């Protein structure tokens, strides 16, 4: 069972720029294994656009999805820096410290910071 969960990437964000992101909890129906993933893209005008894309993909794999909140990510690939900040009007503010820990798994050589700043 865990192979399907392993196939889901921890992080899928745009390689550059400032964009909206959400923190999503995946869970097997009836409890069992769960994990949190980060998804963000400039293509999304609103946070729910990201969720509406992720949710059906994950349901196909047999997961229930819950959005734990959102914010913004500023990704500077040249300087290898990521800044997590802001919030989602619809979903509330994600726990950015959790997001940073997940990002660190993928971007091991980056400087990754977060704040509750709006901008």
pTM above 0.85, yes or no: yes
> What is the distance between the alpha carbons of residues 107 and 81, in angstroms, rounded to a whole number?
9
Q: Write down the domain spans for the chain.
A: 4-115
CATH H-level, domain 4-115: superfamily: Janus/Ocnus (3.50.20.20)
Q: pLDDT tens digit string along 105-119?
A: 999 999 999 999 988
Set 47, 49, 75, 96: catalytic member: 47
To the question of whether residue 93 is assigned a binding role by annotation, the answer is no
Q: What is the pLDDT of residue 30?
A: 84
Instruction: Tell me if residue 47 is catalytic.
Output: yes
């Amino acid at each position: 069972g865990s192979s399907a969960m392993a196939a889901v990437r921890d992080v899928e964000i745009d390689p550059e720029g400032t964009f909206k992101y959400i923190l999503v909890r995946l869970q097997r129906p009836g409890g069992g294994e769960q994990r949190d993933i980060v998804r963000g893209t400039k293509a999304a005008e609103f946070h729910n656009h990201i969720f509406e894309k992720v949710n059906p993909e994950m349901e196909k794999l047999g997961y229930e999805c819950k959005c734990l909140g959102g914010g913004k990510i500023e990704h500077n690939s040249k300087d290898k820096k990521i800044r997590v900040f802001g919030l989602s009007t619809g979903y509330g503010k994600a726990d950015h410290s959790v997001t940073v820990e997940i990002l660190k798994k993928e971007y091991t050589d980056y400087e990754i910071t977060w704040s509750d700043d709006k901008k």
